Amino acid sequence: MNTGRTLGYLASALAFATFSSPVLADGMLTIKSENDLFASGDDGHYTNGLEINWSFTPDERHWTRRLADAVPGWSGTELDGVAYRAGQQIYTPNDIDRSDLVENDRPYAGLLYAGVSLFDDRQYSGWRQADDLHFDAGIVGPASGGKAIQKNFHHLIGSDEPNGWSNQIHNEPVLNLTYKRSWWLQDSLGNLDVEYGPNAGFALGNLYTYAASGVGLRIGDNLQNSAGMPAVAPAQSGRSHFTPGQGFNWYAFASLEGRFMAHNLLLDGNTFEDSHSVDRRQWVGDALAGIALTWDSWQLTYTSVWRTDEFEAQDENDQFGSLTLSLWL
């Protein structure tokens, strides 16, 4: 499969969905970059991710409201937001200088995907409930372009060349569904607003299958003008909504999450053919903390993530960071 053609198809699909929307003039563009260099300074495991996101409130006749009506427990009339997403992620072993198969470290893998997200946020007395539903399609393997992106970028910055991409996971189309529900209790601490509460969710598909639960905290100015916090892979991006035109605002956030991983293609290897794989750990935990700064139509968010071992032979925990820039258009 031609990598450039695949990238072109996904980009064209996202562009068509975005620019055919009648609400283009009232939407938010988000660019998110996830990289281990933002937190630990290393270059391995989840080494890079880039996502472009266009989110908006759908009009009454938008096709996503019909989609919501078709999903059990969802209602098109109560849909608060929609996002179109497209991105690429790159995974490597820690020692990228080796050209032979590093059997006891995670496989080389690239992931290229596009998806649509539905959001439903319901306000009650003193608390709110937020639901996220994500549909994703893409491809893992050489067609994702992971090898070309990493090699060209490392050549550009003069970094070590990754030599083991000949051992990467083979081409395999992926389909995934992800759901998350959060319960946010609303309170105050002096002059600051506070939201905190539990969440639970799951993913089903040949990329990831897992069950998850956790707890989150947000504290800052005027939290009623914003919603949610950034999510990091394997979770899909949650609703990073904020109301524009409010001057300067900020909030800090933190969360803990545990996942029971029943399947992870990026560690388990290809579904229907032999490829490099490692012994996946079923229980994985994340600790996440960060800050969001908002000025009128702009928001900049930094997130630091600490993750427990994902496979048996892993010799140290992973740390990586995420930078997210959002702009209302």
Q: pLDDT by residue (tens digit) across 230-280? A: 888 888 777 778 999 889 999 999 999 999 999 999 999 999 999 999 999
**C-alpha to C-alpha distance for 33 and 49, rounded to whole angstroms:** 6
Confidence of residue 39 (pLDDT cuts 50, 70, 90): low
**What average pLDDT is seen over the chain?**
89
Closest alpha carbon to 285 in 318, 259, 313: 259
pLDDT value of position 313: 93
CA angle 20, 24, 30 (to 5 degrees): 110
Residue 220 to residues 103, 227, 317, 322: CA-CA distances in angstroms?
Answer: 46, 12, 30, 20
3-state secondary structure of 326: strand
Average pLDDT over residues 288-303: 95
Model confidence over 119-167: pLDDT tens digits?
A: 999 999 999 999 999 999 999 999 999 999 998 888 777 778 889 999 9
pLDDT value of position 15: 47
pLDDT value of position 270: 97
pLDDT value of position 11: 46
Instruction: Looking at 167-321, list the stretches that DSSP marks H as alpha helix, in order from N- to C-terminal side.
Output: 265-268
Under 8 Å between Cβ of 44 and 36:
yes
**Whole-number CA gyration radius for the chain:** 20
Question: Token pair of 143, please?
Answer: 């067609």
Residue-wise DSSP of 4-40: HHHHHHHHHHHHHHHHT-TTTTSEEEEEEEEEGGGTT
Residue 305 to residues 51, 250, 255, 320: CA-CA distances in angstroms?
Answer: 17, 20, 10, 5
Under 8 Å between Cβ of 58 and 65:
yes
Question: Token pair of 93, please?
Answer: 């072993």
pLDDT value of position 209: 98
Average pLDDT over residues 181-188: 96
Under 8 Å between Cβ of 322 and 32:
yes
Under 8 Å between Cβ of 307 and 319:
yes
* More reliable by pLDDT, 85 or 39: 85
* More reliable by pLDDT, 162 or 206: 206
Instruction: Looking at the chain, list the stretches that DSSP marks H as alpha helix, in order from N- to C-terminal side.
Output: 3-19, 63-70, 146-157, 265-268
3-state secondary structure of 65: helix
Four-point Cα dihedral 105, 108, 112, 115, nearest 10: -10
Is the pLDDT assigned to residue 40 strictly greater than 70? no
Residue 273 to residues 11, 72, 166: CA-CA distances in angstroms?
Answer: 28, 34, 16
- Residue range(s) defining the domain that contains residue 74: 3-328
Is the pLDDT assigned to residue 201 strictly greater than 70? yes
**C-alpha to C-alpha distance for 139 and 111, rounded to whole angstroms:** 6
- CATH number assigned to the domain comprising residue 175: 2.40.128.140
> What is the identity of the amino acid at 95?
D
Question: Token pair of 188, please?
Answer: 């105050």
